[in-house]
Amino acid sequence: MTSLPLHQRIRGDIEDRIRSGEWPPGHRVPFETELMAQYGCARMTVSKAMAALVEAGLIVRRKRAGSFVARPKVHAPVLNIPDIQSAILSRGEAYAFRLLSSHVRSAARGSADERELAAGGKLLELEGVHDAGGRPFALERRLISLKTAPDAAAADFSAAPPGAWLLEHVAWTEAESRISAVNADAQVAALLDLDEGAACLVVDRRTWRAGEHVTRVRQVFPGEAYDLVARFGPGT
C-alpha cells in the first residue's frame, strides 16, 4: 500500500488535532520552522500542507503572528437581521460586548442621511466591539433615532448589546442591508486585532418601524469570521 505524500500527512495530522478539539479555535499552529524540524522536511512541503488547510477554512494566517485554528463562521441569512450575541452563544463560545463610546448628539449639518434618521430629534451614537471566545469578532458603529426609540438614551449597552436591545424593544417593520468588502485601516485593525489591510466584510443596515427611521449601523467583521447565506427557489 502506497503511503500518503508527506504534505498530506502533515495536513492530516493537523486537521485531526483541530477536529478532535485538541487544538480549539484561536490555538496557534506550530510555526513552519517547527513543523519542518518535527517532520524532517523542506519548507515547501510544510507550506503546501498549510496552504491546503487555509483553503479548507481550518486555519488562518496572520502576518508576523503565525497561523491559528480558524473560528467557526457565523452564517447570517441575507434577508434577516442576525442577533450576533445569540449566534455566538449558540455555537458554544463566550460572548461579550465592549462599549467603547456613547453620546447623544444632533444630526450632522452636512449629512442628509443623519437628518432623515433624526427626524427633528437627537441621535444616540454608539461604538463597540463584539467579542467571541475572548477575541474581537465585529466592530459596530451605530446611530439610533431617539425620536423613534427614546428609551435607548437610558439603556445600559455595556450590559446588553444595542442590536439585541433594539430587537427586543423596538419592533422593526422594514430593513435594508448593503454588503461590501474592505481592507482594514489602522484603526479597525487595532480594534479587531488584525493586520492592517486584512480583508473584512462590512454590513451597513438601516431599519424602520411603520415608516419611522429606527437605526443605522455599520458592522465590520474579519473576513474569516462571517458569511451571508441565501436559499431560494427559481420563482423567488
Are 149 and 170 contacting, i.e. CB atoms less than 8 angstroms apart?
Answer: yes
Domain boundaries, the chain: 6-69, 74-229
Q: Is the pTM of this model over 0.75?
A: no
pLDDT for res 90? 81
The pLDDT value given to residue 21? 83
| E-only strand ranges, the chain | 28-29, 59-62, 66-69, 74-77, 95-105, 123-132, 135-145, 174-183, 199-209, 212-222, 226-229
pLDDT of the residue at 1: 39
* Integer Cα distance of 201 and 144 in angstroms: 22
pLDDT at 231: 58
Give the sign of the dihedral formed by CA 19, CA 20, CA 23, CA 25.
positive
Q: CB of 139 within 8 A of CB of 190?
A: no
| 3-class DSSP assignment, residue 129 | strand
Domain with residues 6-69, CATH architecture: Orthogonal Bundle (1.10)
The reported pLDDT for the residue numbered 80 is 59
Give pLDDT, residue 182. 92
- pLDDT confidence of residue 24: 87
Instruction: Tell me the CATH number for domain 74-229.
Output: 3.40.1410.10
Q: Do domains 6-69 and 74-229 have the same CATH topology?
A: no
Question: How confident is the model at residue 57, as a pLDDT?
Answer: 80
- Of 162, 166, 157, nearest in space to 213 by CA: 166
Q: What is the mean pLDDT of each run of 10 residues along the chain (236 residues)?
A: 79 89 88 94 93 86 84 58 81 90 94 94 96 92 96 90 89 86 94 92 90 94 70 55
